Amino acid sequence: MTRTTVIIGGGVAGMTAASRLADLGEQVILLEREEQVGGHLRNWDRLFPNRRPGYEVLNYLTEELGSKVDIRCLQTVTTIFSGERDFQLQLASGKSLRCDALLLATGFDLFDARRKEEYGYAIYDNVITSAELEELFRSGAPITTRQGKVPKRVGFVHCVGSRDEKAGNLYCSKVCCVTGVKQAIEIKELFPEAEVFGFYMDLRMFDRHFEEMYYEAQQKWDINFLRGRVSECAENQDQSIVLKIEDTLTSRPLKMTVDLLVLLVGFVPSPETLRLAAMLDLPVGEDRFLEPADEHTKSTLTVKPGVFLAGAVKGPFSISNAIADAGTAALQIHAYLKTL
Ligand code: SF4
């Protein structure tokens, strides 16, 4: 009998797991709720640490999928019934699907910066998120203030919505520090005369070549990193942004004006993941990301036989880590299917 795996989520992890499983001879249906697969990577211009174009990785993953996988876009799962050794999925389109294994790869959402009112996002014109800056880079649109001026001073606020008890997110989002350093360099490449500042609590440059990029930012590009918490933002008459900062190294309050303020927004669990987890009765951690069967030894398995996890449903992941994790999930699913 043909064994079928349904993968919910067509981002980096879902695409990778789908092509790996197909290579292993499994029948795969990849469900994506948007019009196209690719997830957040579709909106990203250049990747860290080497600043290669994001579309190169997206094209690679798309080519790998080829015609081996049954991709169904604009699909939302409304209900999942768990049988003894299989699953029945009801889709919003009215169709239903049966499968032997289910992989949740529904990824993450970005923190809604409006929740941090003190930064003035969606209130002041010249406060934008890192995702919006990336989209400007990707589209080739001029990087200016909303009033059309070339920015002379640009600030990056780290940990927006992460490591923040008030926001309810104690975890670190892992990749926003390196994103901030990459984007700060890209601003300097465009505007060598601009002054660029990063306001951080700690700089977490955890992976290979990240620390070197941080050195490059300081030594080659003269980017200023200030250890401090931005406590308040206000708008001047000319729409520049005044920041109040507590410098945590010197314990002195600082005031500074920038033309453009970029908020490095972190990961949050997607409501879609939590909805699916509730249907499948899967355990959710205090951070609201999904819990694998064992963090170290069974990180792509769940406590429910036949249900697997890949990528950012389990917490913040970089693209390369999501690809590696999805490859592991594919092997685990293949091994499970052989036992049926
Ligand atoms: S990666 Fe950096 S900016 Fe992101 S949450 Fe962690 S410490 Fe904060």
Tell me which residue has its CA closest to atom 8 in ligand 1: 159
The whole-number pLDDT of residue 252 equals 87
- SS3 labels along the chain: CCCEEEEECCCHHHHHHHHHHHHCCCEEEEECCCCCCCHHHHHCCECCCCCCEHHHHHHHHHHHHCCCCEEECCCCEEEEEECCCCEEEEECCCCEEEECEEEECCCEEECCHHHCHHHCCCCCCCEEEHHHHHHHHHHCCCCCCCCCCCCCEEEEEEEECCCECCCCECCCCCCHHHHHHHHHHHHHHHCCCCEEEEEECCCCCCCCCHHHHHHHHHHCCCCEEEEEEEEEEEECCCCCEEEEEEECCCCEEEEEEECEEEEEECEEECHHHHHHHHHHCCCECCCCCECCCECCCECCECCCCCEEECHHHHCCCCHHHHHHHHHHHHHHHHHHHHCC
Edge to edge, the sheet with strand 96-99 lists: 77-82, 87-91, 96-99
Residue 319 and residue 226 share a domain: no
- Which CATH number characterizes residue 132's domain? 3.50.50.60
Q: Is 177 in the pocket of ligand 1 (CB under 6 A)?
A: yes
Straight-line distance from the first to the last Cα atom of the chain, in angstroms, rounded to the nearest whole number: 10
pLDDT tens across 146-202, in order?
A: 999 999 999 999 999 999 999 999 999 999 999 999 999 999 999 999 999 999 999
Q: How far is the CA of 171 from the centre of ligand 1 (A)?
A: 9
Number of domains in the chain: 2
Residue 262 and residue 275 share a domain: no
Residue 308 and residue 175 share a domain: no
Q: How far is the CA of 47 from the centre of ligand 1 (A)?
A: 17
Residue 300 and residue 234 share a domain: no
Q: How far is the CA of 211 from the centre of ligand 1 (A)?
A: 14
Residue 303 and residue 185 share a domain: no
Q: Is 161 in the pocket of ligand 1 (CB under 6 A)?
A: no
Query: Which residues of the chain have a pLDDT value below 70?
Result: 1
Residue 125 and residue 102 share a domain: no
The whole-number pLDDT of residue 248 equals 84
Which residues lie closer than 8 Å to 69 by C-beta, 6 or more apart? Answer: 18, 19, 22, 28, 29, 30
Q: Which of 244, 266, 288 is the last residue of a domain?
A: 266
Q: Are 283 and 303 in contact (CB under 8 A)?
A: yes
Q: How far is the CA of 311 from the centre of ligand 1 (A)?
A: 18
Residue 258 and residue 199 share a domain: yes
Residue 283 and residue 258 share a domain: no
Residue 276 and residue 260 share a domain: no
The whole-number pLDDT of residue 131 equals 97
Looking at the CA of residue 180, tell me the nearest atom of ligand 1.
Answer: 3
Q: Could you give the dihedral angle defined by the CA atoms of residues 292, 294, 297 and 298, in that order, rounded to the nearest 10 degrees?
A: -40
Q: Which of 247, 266, 285 is the last residue of a domain?
A: 266
The whole-number pLDDT of residue 2 equals 80
pTM of the prediction?
0.96
Q: How far is the CA of 217 from the centre of ligand 1 (A)?
A: 17
Structural domain harbouring 58: 4-107+270-338
